[in-house]
Structures are given as structure tokens and as C-alpha cells.
Structure 1
Amino acid sequence: MSQHHILYALEDRPSFMISLTAAVQHVLASFIGVVTPTLIIASALGLQAEVPYLVSMALLVTGIGTFIQTRGFGPVGSGLVAIQGTSFAFISALLMVGTTIKARGGSNDDILAMMLGVCFWGAFVEIILSQFIQQIKRVITPITTGVVIIAIGISLIKVGMTDLAGGFNSDSFGSVTNLSLGLGVLLVIIYFNAHKNRWLRLSAIFIGMFVGTIMAWFAGITDFSNLTSLPLFSFPQPFKYGFHFDWALFLPIALIYFFTAIETAGDLTANSLFCQLPIKGDKYLKRIRAGILGDGINSLLAAVFCTFPNTTFGQNNGVIQMTGIASRKVGYFVAAVFVVLGVFPFIGAILQAIPKPVLGGATLVMFSMVAVGGVKILTCEPLNQRNSLITACSLGMGLGVMMVGNLLSQLPPWLGNIFVSPVTTAGLTAIVLSLVLPDAEQPQIPAESLEATK
């Protein structure tokens, strides 16, 4: 990103209103990503009664984790505006854990106790891995991180487009109303983001979602009826559902923690790029180490306070790129907003009631910007024969897994759950090829051979 695209750099301190406006856009970009994994897991396992508390804790821990990651405490936290949130990567593995406990006759409390127990111990995989960044820096290169970021962006695009059409399992999926509403929001955001007025540019996402919600209200597809059944306050209760552990159920979770560490490295690399910080060298590796350690600590806190593993969200890099605001101060505002949303459930429910086509129209462009960020990272190194081969094979494997849904149906469930994510598949392929393929761009030709050709 060139300098003129940055309005406020990392150390700048924009005014209260600018910071709040940017923070709200970050929250709107990531809110559904924070609560959706919890809603998916709860719906699949019949945990509807626990949903209000689980969602509140997801929002609260997101706020705490974002503050830790943004502020940085010694070796913990990247110091970037790296928004934390519930990771999608763990959904299938957690569902496997939950269905196993349910098949054994376990109660809802038993299901949650096992899921949170294995997630608690799994967080130590990421914590320990963060201390060996120097040893594995060979695989944390612009090529591997660029591939991971592109895979993240493209997989998120699928989520954004699905929301634009009405959301998963929607009765009106793909209707003219949904498509018109989502595309309308997208066009409003593009128009205001390209505007010369700085305030309109800063508020583009917010304006688009506000206009879309008003349009949805007149179309009769906005529902706020669930607000009356929510408690006024929600306070954290550590290990509310108990704490269980099983080695067989732990291993898939542990492996996914390993790959989310690589995913986090990619997200933080993109964030560094947008903040015009170096993405090579000792300072870069120190920042990545602190960020991955922050992810692990935040996932540990998530398990204690009864929510699912946290990770650094890639979609917020798109917000930074679109608004031009990379100030750390904005991260503090984002953390405060999420804490308030977690303590007061009805506020989060209002945002949750925003129609899916509105959210899809807003997030689609941001998710696409994430993929573009991955392309920018790739171009930091020349795409010679070796790098092109790594990129092509990794993206081919990752996107192939995403496009062919039953590709892994014959694998053991624990193995299939690991590779079902295009991010983990693409990332693992890139790492293996980076280690296996020779690093030299061209073979050295002996001097005698050169003389013979003259």
C-alpha cells in the first residue's frame, strides 16, 4: 500500500469520532464472524438454551483478546490492530467432539465441558509453537503466508456471497429481494469509499449497512422480536459447564491449533503490510511471535470463560485497507465496543438482527480485499519457477478441497476434519513444498562448461 492511502498510521491518534467510526466498521465487519461459529455449533448439537450465554462470552472474550493483541503486554500481543474472534477452523472438529459425547449419552453440560477442555489444552500448542518462530522462519515466508491469506480471503468470499443470497439454509436463498438488497449495499459502499470526502470514505461500510437495514425494514425482512427474551446483563463464569478431557478427541483440535498459528502469521503479515511495517527480518519475526502467543493466550481465556478458540480475523485487514486507518487507538475502541456487546446481550442481538443480505453485501468486498492482500504479499518475492510451483499447487489443493465437498469422505473422520479447511490444506501444502523444493533460483554452471560454450 502506498503512503497516500494511509490516513492514520499505527502510532497516530485520530480524534474520538474518527476512532469510534472506524471501530464500529471493524465491529460490523467481524461481528457475524464472531458469533456464527457458536451459532453453528449450538444448532448442530442442540444447545439452544445455552446460546445467549455462549454468544455473550464470545463477544466479551473477543473484546479482551483484541485489547491484549493490540496493546501488547511484554512478549504477548502483536501491537497491531489485530481483531480477535471465534475461529471458523475449529467448527468441524468441535462438532465431532460434541457428537461423540452426545452419542455416549452426555448432557449439554458434558458436551460443552469436553469441547472447552480439549480447547483449553490445545491452546498450549499455539503458545509453545510461538516460541519456535526463529526455528521455523524458513516456512514463514511471503510465499507461504501469501498463499494462506489468499486461501482465507477466497474461503471468506464464499461466506460473504452466501450471506448476500440470504444465508445458509434460508428459505428465500437467492431470491431477487436478497440479491438486490446485497448488491445495493455493495454499490453504496463502493460509491462512498471512492468519494473524495474523508468522512464519507471512513463511514462507507457503516453507511452501506445502515442504508441496507432501512431498505430491509421496508421490505419486511428485519426481525427484532428476539430482543424481549434476553437477559439485561451477562457476566462471565469460569468453567461454568465443567472441564473434561479425552486424548482421542484432543488430537484433531491440537493439529488445527498448529495450522491456525500459520493462518495468524499470514493475517499479521497482511496487517503489517497495510501498516507499512517490514515483513522480513528480526522485528517482523518478533511481531509474529508475539501475535501467535497472543492468539494462544486468548484461546486459553476463551476456554476458561466458556467460548471457543480465538484467532486473528483476516477480514479486518480489509477494513484497514479500505478506510486507510491503521491506528492502534482504533483497536482499543474496538475492544471496548465488543466488551460492551458481551455484557449487554440485547445490543449484540440488535446487530445480530441485521439481515444476512445486508451483511453479505458489506463483507463481500472486504473479504475480496483480504485475498488481494495475499496477492500483494506474494509479489514481495519474485515468482520464479519454484515459487510459482508452490503457489499453484498450494492454491490448487486448498481450493480443490473447498470446491469438491465429498473429496475427503473416505478418510478417517479425524483426518478429514483437519483437511476440510482450504486454509489448512493450502498452508500445509505450501509448507511441505517450501521445505522439499530446492531454494536456489538457478543451478550453478561450472566455469568449465561456460568456457566450452564459447
Structure 2
Amino acid sequence: MQSSDLLYGLNDSPSALPTMTAAIQHLLASFVGIITPTLVIASTLELEQYTPFLISMALFASGVGTAIQTKRIGPVGSGLVAIQGTSFAFISALILAGSKVKAEGGSAEDILALLFGLTMAGAMIEVVFSLFINRLKRIITPLTTGIVITAIGLSLINVGMTDLAGGFHAKDFANTDNLLVGLSVLLVIVFLNASTNHWLRLSAIFIGMACGTLYVFLTSGLDFSHLSDLPVFALPTPFRFGLDFDISLFLPIALIYLFSAIETAGDLTANSLFCKEPVSGPVYFRRVQGGILGDGVNSFIAGALNTFPNTTFGQNNGVIQLTGIASRKVGLVVAALFFFIGLFPSVGGMLQTIPKPVLGGATLVMFAMVAVGGLKLLAHYALDRRSSLVTACSLGMAIGVMMVPEALSQLPSWLENILLSPVTSAGITAVFLDLTLPKQLSETEFETKTKQRSKTPLTSSNVIGAKSP
């Protein structure tokens, strides 16, 4: 045991039952996040006939990426339980690109060919960025990564709370029953996680969601009608739709990849923090470099497998924090589960029946824990006046674009797409201010040096302006 908060460390090998229990909780925490971007893009661009296949490929690619990140193949991968999934950050840019093809009379296959071509081309931005990570220590600092982690958590809380109330466009949104179910699931998870019993703690998320789903099934019933429309088996078919490219649509996606790399650095820092691994020094930077390289490689693979850009998920850091299990063995089991679900869409369809309020109650606490992880990282380093200004401005921008996205409506569409992401807005602000604000003494250092000077005898050599006798 590395800590009272950590039941199994990175290199530990828990037995089958705790391993599978933790793996299922990782899967439940990330499943909706993986399929939602695909559902949004397919629905907006009217690609419904390919939606089941695209979802299956998204899950299959997540399994490939998670295995690479966890196992670390050569320099590729972080070696942490870093779950990979389809990134929300690219949704607007991909819809913009697809809409242009659609407006020009392109078919569904033409749209998908362009989207997957842009996905693979943009992935190389992240690959190249990772090669210079050790020279960019001025950018990836505890201050900037702490801010990015906090922004990630804050941005995800909106998703968790929306699900708790019933989900986007739900007819019964904010219904009292939804709120009671979601809050009940949340409280079950919190109180079980606070238990001194290790089994209750590591099973808290699973038990909470199972109880919530069973309650809804007994009182309102669950809808399984969508299962009849799903194919029994989905075989991965690389480059099924071909590839296309448009340089005018590439820039926004390239920039998002760049800031997605910084977001990944934040996620991996939080992951290291929860795993009781170093968050500075050569081991830490090697993990971050491998993780960002892994994101790029995995996104390239995702494009080849007919799905959208992948990234390291932040919400699973909350699962590590709540379960106390950081073992790589769990990550490999999660990857295998994604392989399985990707091959059999009906399994994924069953998981889709979990009621939104149940998912919201579980994810809300996990997302909030991610934000707390960022705050803990910031609190670990004394915040002087300069750092406080950087933090305040960065988080202010993140919260601002979440609350008033219309403030960006007059910007060029590509810039609006980038800045609409709270994580990107916070990251850009943090990096810019951290690089440009003058370095000054922290208040603590200033007080220490002032006290030292007050104890020093006044002589001609240490008094400013003193003259020789």
C-alpha cells in the first residue's frame, strides 16, 4: 500500500473480483462520454444509417487506445490507467467541416471520408507536439496544469448535472423524480465510498448505479426497443469510407489537437496525483510525453477505424480516486471490455438503457472530484499574487464561456469553435499569462527576505546610498 487512500498501486495486481469491479466502474463512467460525440455528429449531419456502426467503432477504437496508453508500447503511452475515448472538443469543428461537404451536395460517405481524413491528419499535430514536450516546461507547469485540470472538472460538471436532471432535450427534464433518483445515487456513492470497508468503497459507483437502475426499472420501466435495430455483430473495417482532406477546414482541427494535448497533460497529471506517482521530474515528463504521443497515435488509429479523434478521459481519474485502485491490470481489462462491446453493439445498447438521472448522479461526483484534484495540485504550490492572478483570469474565462457562450458569437467561426471549449479558453489564458507576466517574488519569499534584512546590522556596505568615510 502506498497510501491509506490507495488500495492498489500502479504495479499491484488485485484479484479478479476487485479488478472486474473497478473495470466495470471505469466503463460505466466513460461509456456515455465515448458514444455521445458520435451520436451528436451523426444526428446533426444526418448520418443515422451509419450510427450503430460508428458507435461500435468508437468503442472498439477506445479499447485499442486504452490498451496502448496503459501498457505503454515503447515510447507510446503513459503507462497509467488512462482511458481513451472520443473527444468532445472536436464536435463543433467536425460538424462545420461536414456541413460544408453537405452544402456542396456531398453524400454521407463523402462527409465521413473528409471527417476521418481530417482526424488522421490532425493527429500528427499531437505526435509532433509530444516530441518537444521536454522543451516546453515553461508551458506545462504545475500552475497551468492545475488550472487545466480544474477547468476540465468544471466543464464536465455541466454534463453530469444535465444528466441528473434527465438529459438533453428530455421531455421530463428537471422532473422531481429525476432529481430524487440522481441525488439518491449520488448519496449512495458518497456514503459507501466513505465506508472503512474496502469492498464497499471500491464497489460504490457500481452499487449506486445498480440500485438507481433497478429502482427506475421497477417504478417506471426501461425502454429496450432500440435493441431490435442494432446489428448482432460489427466487424472493424478500416478505411470503409475512404479518406479526403480540405486544408481550409484543417486549421481549426489542428489548433484543437494542440490544446487537446495540453488538456491531456492536465488529465495525466491528475491521474499521477491520484496514483501517488510523481507530478514533476523526469518520470512525470516521460509519462506526459508518452501519453500525448499515445493520444496522437490513438487518434490516427481512430480515423483509420472510422471514428473521431480520441483523447485521455478526465472522468476516469475520479474513479481511481473513489475506488482507490490504480492498477494497470484494471486498465487492460477495461480495454478488453471495450473490444467486446465494440464487436457486439447489442451489449452497448444494453448499457444505453441506464437512465440518465442514474448516470448523472454517478458522474457528477466523479467530475467534481476531478476539479478538486486540480485545486489540490494548485494548493500544493504556494499561490503568490502573480499565480493567483493567472488562476483567477484563467478560471474566469473558463466559467465565462460556459455561462455566456454567446459572447463569442461575433468571432470567426473557427476561433469561436476553439474558444467555446472552457478547457481551451482556460489553457490559452493560463499559458499566455504565465509566459508574459513578470516573475516576482512570492509574498512568502518577500516576507522572509524582509525579516532577514531587518536582522542584518546597518553598515556602509548594505545600506543603499551609503558613502565611504
Which amino acid letter does the alignment assign opposite residue 408 of structure 1? Answer: L
* Matched-pair contact (CA < 8 Å) for 1:66–1:331: yes
Partner of residue 379, structure 1: 379
Deviation sequence 1:18-40 (CA, Å, 0-9, x none) = 10000000000000000000011
Alpha-carbon shift at residue 101 of structure 1 (Å): 1.0
Partner of residue 249, structure 2: 249
Q: Percent identity?
A: 60
In the TM superposition, what are the counterparts of 1:395-414 in structure 2 within 5 Å? Answer: 395-414=395-414
Deviation sequence 1:396-422 (CA, Å, 0-9, x none) = 111111110201110111110010100
Which amino acid letter does the alignment assign opposite residue 75 of structure 2? Answer: P
Which amino acid letter does the alignment assign opposite residue 16 of structure 1? Answer: A
Alpha-carbon shift at residue 438 of structure 1 (Å): 2.2
Further displaced range: 217-226 or 146-155? 217-226
2:265 paired with 1:265:
yes
In the TM superposition, what are the counterparts of 1:21-420 in structure 2 within 5 Å? Answer: 21-420=21-420
Alpha-carbon shift at residue 283 of structure 1 (Å): 1.4
SS in 2 for 1:190: helix
**1:449 and 1:419, CA in 2 relative to 1: closer, same or farther beyond 3 A?**
farther
Partner of residue 451, structure 1: 463
CA–CA distance in 2 between the matches of 1:323 and 1:126?
Answer: 31
CA–CA distance in 1 between the matches of 2:310 and 2:285?
Answer: 21
CA–CA distance in 2 between the matches of 1:145 and 1:101?
Answer: 37
**1:102 and 1:5, CA in 2 relative to 1: closer, same or farther beyond 3 A?**
same
Alpha-carbon shift at residue 380 of structure 1 (Å): 2.6
* Matched-pair contact (CA < 8 Å) for 1:142–1:380: no
SS in 2 for 1:210: helix
**1:138 and 1:217, CA in 2 relative to 1: closer, same or farther beyond 3 A?**
same
Gaps of 5+ in 1: none
Alpha-carbon shift at residue 449 of structure 1 (Å): 10
Deviation sequence 1:36-93 (CA, Å, 0-9, x none) = 0001111111111111000000000101100000000110000000000000100111
Alpha-carbon shift at residue 450 of structure 1 (Å): 5.8
Alpha-carbon shift at residue 239 of structure 1 (Å): 1.1
Alpha-carbon shift at residue 230 of structure 1 (Å): 1.3
Deviation sequence 1:400-452 (CA, Å, 0-9, x none) = 11110201110111110010100000001000111101234258999989624
CA–CA distance in 2 between the matches of 1:453 and 1:373?
Answer: 49
Deviation sequence 1:346-387 (CA, Å, 0-9, x none) = 001000111111100010000000000001111232101111
Alpha-carbon shift at residue 224 of structure 1 (Å): 1.0
Which amino acid letter does the alignment assign opposite residue 363 of structure 1? Answer: T
CA–CA distance in 2 between the matches of 1:114 and 1:422?
Answer: 27
CA–CA distance in 2 between the matches of 1:417 and 1:20?
Answer: 39
SS in 1 for 2:380: coil
SS in 2 for 1:262: helix
* Matched-pair contact (CA < 8 Å) for 1:144–1:431: yes
* Matched-pair contact (CA < 8 Å) for 1:127–1:293: yes
**1:305 and 1:3, CA in 2 relative to 1: closer, same or farther beyond 3 A?**
same
CA–CA distance in 2 between the matches of 1:453 and 1:274?
Answer: 53
Alpha-carbon shift at residue 2 of structure 1 (Å): 8.1
CA–CA distance in 2 between the matches of 1:317 and 1:211?
Answer: 23
CA–CA distance in 1 between the matches of 2:110 and 2:324?
Answer: 46
* Matched-pair contact (CA < 8 Å) for 2:35–2:59: yes
* Matched-pair contact (CA < 8 Å) for 2:165–2:357: yes
Which amino acid letter does the alignment assign opposite residue 297 of structure 1? Answer: V
Alpha-carbon shift at residue 215 of structure 1 (Å): 1.1
SS in 2 for 1:311: strand
* Matched-pair contact (CA < 8 Å) for 1:221–1:355: no
**1:188 and 1:251, CA in 2 relative to 1: closer, same or farther beyond 3 A?**
same
Gaps of 5+ in 2: 454-458
Partner of residue 456, structure 2: none
Further displaced range: 145-154 or 215-224? 215-224
* Matched-pair contact (CA < 8 Å) for 2:234–2:344: yes
Partner of residue 427, structure 2: 427
CA–CA distance in 1 between the matches of 2:460 and 2:160?
Answer: 59
SS in 1 for 2:330: helix
Which amino acid letter does the alignment assign opposite residue 40 of structure 1? Answer: V
- Please tell me the root mean square deviation across aligned C-alpha atoms, in Å: 1.8
Which amino acid letter does the alignment assign opposite residue 65 of structure 2? Answer: G
Structure 2 length-normalised TM: 0.94
Which amino acid letter does the alignment assign opposite residue 430 of structure 2? Answer: A
**1:26 and 1:451, CA in 2 relative to 1: closer, same or farther beyond 3 A?**
same
* Matched-pair contact (CA < 8 Å) for 1:120–1:300: yes
**1:448 and 1:381, CA in 2 relative to 1: closer, same or farther beyond 3 A?**
farther
* Matched-pair contact (CA < 8 Å) for 2:299–2:308: yes
SS in 2 for 1:128: helix
Further displaced range: 297-306 or 189-198? 189-198
Deviation sequence 1:145-178 (CA, Å, 0-9, x none) = 0110111101100000000001111111100111
Deviation sequence 1:112-137 (CA, Å, 0-9, x none) = 11111111100000000000011111
Which amino acid letter does the alignment assign opposite residue 179 of structure 1? Answer: L
Alpha-carbon shift at residue 221 of structure 1 (Å): 4.9
Give aligned pairs, total: 454
Deviation sequence 1:214-250 (CA, Å, 0-9, x none) = 1111232521111122111111111111211000111
SS in 2 for 1:341: helix
* Matched-pair contact (CA < 8 Å) for 2:2–2:9: no
